[in-house]
Amino acid sequence: MRIYGVGECCPFSVVVLVFYIEAVLKGYSLSPVPQNPELRKELEEKSLDELTAMLVELKEKNHSVMHNKTDVDSCQRAIRAIEIETYNLTKANGRATMPTD
């Protein structure tokens, strides 16, 4: 493990800073989405391919697009993304907005 000195920063800090700056400049607005234990239980036995297909369908219903592939890196991430899209579909007034460009 490397210890960084004064004036140095670790690569992770740079990545976080870049994402923060992008969020501020592009005006990302993320609303908190509560966990849905019932939905998670229903999805836990599905494959990543099945979850990905469900997520794509939900995003189409929400007039959204898959802006990155990290939502489907793992079943856990895909389930959380489905949870968020399901929430956004039912709570359209509190919807998270993400620029697509």
At 39-87, the pLDDT tens digits run 999 999 999 999 999 999 999 988 887 767 778 889 999 999 999 999 9
pLDDT given for residue 15 in this prediction: 67
Residue 51 burial (CB count, 10 A): 22
Residue 30 burial (CB count, 10 A): 10
pTM comes to 0.63
Contact yes or no for 58/72 (Cβ under 8 A): no
